[in-house]
Chains A and B, each alone.
Chain A
Amino acid sequence: MTEPVLSVRNLRVEFPVRGGVLTALNDVSLEIRAGEILGVVGESGAGKSMTGLAVQSLLEPPGRIAGGEVILNGRRIDHLSETEMQKIRGREIGAIFQDPLTSLNPLFTVGAQLSETIRLHLDMSKREAKSRAVELLKQVGIPAPEERVNHYPHQFSGGMRQRVVIALALAANPKLIIADEPTTALDVSIQAQIIALLRRLCDDLGTAVMLVTHDMGVIAEAADRVAVMYAGRLAEIGPVREVLSNPSHPYTRGLMGSIPALGARVKMLRQIDGSMPRLNAIPQGCAFNPRCQVSGPRCFQDRPDLFPAGQGQAACWHVQGGVQ
């Protein structure tokens, strides 16, 4: 087995607020290997974006990493200073955000923005950087890159802009890319193109990708493994086929049931009643217990850890030990 590119162990993120501390992430552990796409999925507020931000040390103060470690290419990075992190961001971790328009500076040509990033991290002359910028645009499938490199972001369409952002993330050949909802702002036909592009780059360049999304469809198309998050914890993690076709956690099962299937048509969808608890009101025991249809007395007392389930892991007493 090769060493994972990113390994997160027992990560805990806290936000001190008036009258207490909110735990936004609790005991999150995951690994991503080279050439692998890990999908991180969950509903709003589950902590999926927070995981991506914590890895890059981009938490908004007063949020802070209160425990656990983040190891990138064998080096622990969660306690580094801001100056040291700046060298890592862009060089070793590339980031793709949801809205391609706000991730690009409207006042500079895309070529200038690409060259800036390239020259910041790689030792290159202006001329070399420019030709690498063209090369990158070509790699992400932008037609006529020699011409497009001199265009401004507003001259690109939404899908093309997101390609530029991907090129920007790839500029310094990072080993890890964190893509936070990269397709959410795009139309469905463009979304399919961007997913295919991510998939191809991941295969060709051996980049590890953390794909954060709320869309199970995107996960199904792109990811190798998937981590399902609920109320700041991992509910289930495993190979994408296993988790989507044969989920072990009742929450994942409910989530899959609430998506209208393309196979047989049903009159009513299976629904999970209620909504995710707020961070200041996470119930004792398993956080999913108020919405769970198969909960037992144990679920209300003890919090389940991630137990082996099939080829993956699930945090549910049903998987290990029973609910009584």
Chain B
Amino acid sequence: MTRPFALRVRNLSRKFDVSAPWLNRVVERKPKQYVMAVDDVSFDVPKGGCLSLVGESGCGKSTVARLVTGLYPPSNGSLEFTPDINGAPLSAQMIFQDPYASLNPRWKVRDIIAEPLRELKLRETEEEILARVAELLTTVGLSPNDGGKFPHEFSGGQRQRISIARALATEPRFLVCDEPTSALDVSVQAQILNLMRRLQDEMGLTYLFISHDLSVVRHMSDRIAVMYLGRIVEEAETETLFANPRHPYTQLLMQTIPNIEHPKRAREVTTGEVPSPLNPPKGCAFHPRCPLADARCSAERPAVLTLKDGNRVACHRVEEAEGDSARELTGPNSLSA
């Protein structure tokens, strides 16, 4: 990767305390219990590009989004935003999944969008604030008159446009999008994805995109990181990942994408389910479901290898097959060489 990065994440971890209440622990003699929601995750988001995190529920992708935006403090590891042209750190904003829950139903749309402007004192006078709100509404394809309405007067897609307008209010360079279209119908999803594309081109935004829908992810992203039980198992250029998925879990995900262009093809059905993150399997977390697993996989956790083409994968089988050309990820610097 030669492109400068907008965000560099190194060895990021987040542990949650999910212990029973104190009295139960004392009476039932239970130890404290923790979940490693995100475990030693490293990635770079290229400036002006889009990195997507994909995975099934409970794999930690939303926790990464919250760590990046500072909604959770990390337990370990570092996050580094590139300074902007004027030296200030790159500003980040977030778009949430559910446009019904993320807008205050008692506020007018105008006030929802103006809140970050008022809070951060980005505009001097009330007229300037309202002018900026009108401009933002136009940018996301709504009418400036819509500012006087309440969120319930809008459909799901329009509400997601309002969320985007609010996120853009502070002129961020970096947007974290946590499943921005999964609550929407497909025709509306296309409108929102097209809008996000257009904004990226016009404003040079960088996206960290989070989704479980591989076809959406493929449409939006330059690079994709596949997560499984809190760890990145594979990270590659979008086209490489789809053409040549290396990790068995990525291959499994690829098999499950329904093909609407060639309906009713016969396909292999994968077995097994995601284990509980409370009690992850030893060794490689994927080994109970993996068709290629052997004794080593259940004993030893595979390290993340950087392959010759710059893609990364954490699998003993890939390491054995391509091991000579791969080198182990040792420190923060080996990633972006």
- Give A contacts to B, CB under 8 Å: 43-44, 157-160, 187-193, 196, 214-221, 223-224, 240-241, 244-245, 254-263, 265-273, 275-276
Contacts and interface: CB of A to CB of B under 8 A. Distances in A.
Contacts of B191: 258, 271-273
A40 B191 CA distance: 23
Contact of B186 (A187, A259, A261): A259
Interface of B is mostly: helix
Contacts of A266: 219
24 contacts: A43-B185, A43-B187, A44-B156, A187-B212, A192-B269, A193-B270, A216-B186, A220-B263, A221-B267, A223-B263, A240-B263, A254-B187, A258-B186, A259-B215, A260-B193, A260-B216, A262-B259, A263-B261, A268-B197, A269-B190, A270-B190, A271-B190, A275-B158, A275-B185
Contacts of B252: 189
B145 interface: no
B194 interface: yes
Contacts, number: 128
B258 interface: yes
A214 B212 contact: no
A160 B56 CA distance: 16
A248 to B, nearest CB: 16
Contact of A220 (B156, B260, B269): B260
Contact of B155 (A190, A223, A245, A275): A275
A244 B263 contact: yes
Given A196-B267, A219-B263, A260-B215, 8 more contacts: A192-B270, A216-B258, A218-B258, A220-B264, A259-B190, A260-B216, A268-B197, A275-B188
Contacts of B158: 275
A188 B256 contact: yes
Given A187-B57, A189-B252, A193-B271, A245 B188 contact: no
Given A189-B270, A191-B256, A267 B197 contact: yes
B263 A43 contact: no
B253 A43 contact: no
B273 A190 contact: yes
Contacts of A187: 56-57, 212, 274
Nearest to B242: A262
A269 B219 contact: yes
Nearest to A272: B187
A221 B269 contact: no
A188 B257 CA distance: 8
Interface in B262-282: 263-264, 267, 269-271, 273-274
Contacts of A275: 155, 157-158, 185, 187-188
Interface string B105-125: 000000000000000000000
Contacts of B271: 193
Please provide the 6 A-B residue pairs with the shortest distance between their CB atoms, ordered closest to farther. A217-B258, A258-B190, A260-B219, A43-B185, A220-B263, A187-B56
Interface of B: 56-57, 155-158, 185-191, 193-194, 197, 212, 214-216, 218-219, 242, 252-253, 255-261, 263-264, 267, 269-271, 273-274
Contacts of B264: 220-221, 224, 240-241
A269 B194 contact: yes
Contacts of B253: 188-189
B215 A262 contact: yes
A188 B269 CA distance: 12
Contact of A255 (B157, B186, B214, B256): B186
Contacts of B274: 187, 189
Nearest to B257: A262
A62 to B, nearest CB: 23
Contact of A216 (B57, B157, B260): B260
A221 B258 contact: yes
B190 A256 contact: no
B189 A258 contact: yes
B143 to A, nearest CB: 14
B212 A241 contact: no
B258 A189 contact: no
A258 B187 contact: yes
A261 B260 CA distance: 8
B187 A261 contact: no
Contacts of A191: 256
B263 A245 contact: yes
A270 B218 CA distance: 16
B228 to A, nearest CB: 11
B186 A188 contact: no
Given A44-B185, A193-B270, A272-B187, A244 B260 contact: yes
